[in-house]
Amino acid sequence: MKKIFLYMFLMVLILSIISSFSLIGCKTKVAETTKVAETTKVAETTAAAKKFTVGYDIYWEGNSWSLQMAEEFKWTIESKYKDIVGQAYYTSSNGDIAKNVSNFEDLVAKKCDIIFITPLTPDNLISQVDAAMAEGIKVVIFGAGYAGKNYTAYVNADDFAKGKSSAEWLVKTLNGKGDIVMINGIAGNQAAIDSNNGALSVFDKEPGIKVLDIGYSDWDPGKTKTITQDFLQAYPDLDGIWLFNEPRSSTEVFLEMGLPFVPINWEAENGALRLWKENINKGLVAEACSKPQYLSAIACDVGMAALTGKTFEKDTIVPNPIDTAADLDKIIKPDLSDKVWVHTTIPDEKLKEIFPK
């Protein structure tokens, strides 16, 4: 009987020991599995952290210049930064100041890491940009003047210099004498203000130059045409036109009305350049000082450098390309749409997709 109890005791003891080793093995296995899972999770989080959320408000889509500026930005993201951009949000203000503000606020609400925006007036976004910067969101202002001081980076052309250069050309072409009109973009927009001031800084010093009138066409082809018609009817002896964008629209009015051309400053849009070349022998005199729409591509590069910890300039002023009649054969793109702006970062094949003929 004692032997039976001893045998049973020994069996229980052995089973207990085996069970204990088995449990130890299970615990060790579970711990290793958990450790692997945590490591994988950390690796995935690190990879995800390299993907940024980008926001871009398109300030205006009313003409080919503003459309191509938006496309220059999209192409830069697609061709250079798609590996580090997880999400890109695009909104459109269409020249509406209230929308410009609400779109910016929406992009902040979407937790964008960086927001690119063109302010419609110098001060309509200051408090919103300041708030976004305080939240750690990077903000790149480009394409128009900005009165705020707190931003990540600012990229623009020198609109005052553009206005001044084109006015100097017009004065020289008119030999310092003549009655002219001015047609600008969106009233209140800093680019329009600066270019206008640049032109007046020249005209005001020329006693032989008289500015008869100034109109604002919102950089819209149809409005530019209407304003030109009104000016030609009001001032039949006009000697010249200073214009910020849409020279094709103005020149078409002269052609339709059968009037002799007057000197007019030009832009590097493909169709406008073609029209200029076609009418040189008919007396069309022009020079193109263009605000580069690839500002958005440069702004994108600067912003992504800031986002990834690379060196960047806080303020970047981009030169305005100047083209004369001697440049036309070199810069016109015969296989592309009239709407294409010829100084661009986008390849021709992509431009064919964006602006089909």
Summarised one tens digit per residue, pLDDT across range 140-182 is 999 999 999 999 999 999 999 999 999 999 999 999 999 999 9
Q: Do 140 and 185 belong together in one domain?
A: no
In which domain, by residue range, is 60 found?
Answer: 52-158+293-321+335-354
Asked whether residue 21 is assigned to any structural domain, the reply reads: no
Same domain (yes/no): 189, 150: no
Closest CA to 245 of 269, 214, 228, 277: 269
- Helices 221-234, 247-257: axis angle to 10 degrees equals 50
* Whether 191 and 285 share a structural domain: yes
The angle at the Cα of 142, spanning 140 to 145, to the nearest 5 degrees, equals 115
Residue 35 lies in a domain: no
Query: Is 272 found in the same domain as 240?
Result: yes
E-strand ranges in 81-175 read 85-92, 114-117, 138-142, 153-157
Runs of H (alpha helix) within 50-96: 64-80
Q: Is 38 part of a structural domain of the chain?
A: no
Residues 299 and 154 in one domain: yes
Asked whether the beta carbons of 306 and 153 are under 8 A apart, the reply is yes
Cα separation, 346 vs 74, whole angstroms: 10
Q: Are residues 177 and 90 both part of a single domain? A: no
* Contact assessment for residue 186 and residue 216, using Cβ atoms and an 8 Å cutoff: yes
Q: Which residue has the tokens 């063109």?
A: 118
- Predicted TM-score (pTM) of the model is 0.82
Residues 283 and 298 in one domain: no
125 with 180, same domain: the answer is no
Is 337 strand, coil or helix?
coil
- The number of residues making up the chain comes to 357
- State the Cα–Cα distance between residues 304 and 315, nearest whole angstrom: 15
Question: What angle, rounded to 10 degrees, do the helices at 126-134 and 97-109 form?
Answer: 10
Looking at the fold, whether 109 and 257 belong to one and the same domain comes out as: no
Name the CA radius of gyration of the chain, rounded: 32
Q: Both 102 and 116 in a single domain? A: yes
Residue 2 lies in a domain: no
Which tens digits make up the pLDDT trace of 279-335?
A: 999 999 999 999 999 999 999 999 999 999 999 999 999 999 999 999 999 999 999
The lowest-confidence range among 40-44, 133-137, 268-272, 322-326 is 40-44
Residue written as tokens 């969101």? 137
Gap between the terminal Cα atoms of the chain? 106
Supply the CATH number for residue 138's domain. 3.40.50.2300
Write the pLDDT tens digit of every residue in 239-251.
999 999 899 999 9
Reported as a single tens digit per residue, the pLDDT across 182-207 is 999 999 888 999 999 999 999 999 99
d(CA 78, CA 85): 9
| Count: domains in the chain | 2
Same structural domain, 59 and 151: yes
Cβ-Cβ contacts under 8 Å for 330 (sequence gap 6 or more): none
Instruction: Please give the full DSSP string across 220-242, using - where no structure is assigned.
Output: -HHHHHHHHHHHHHH-TT--EEE
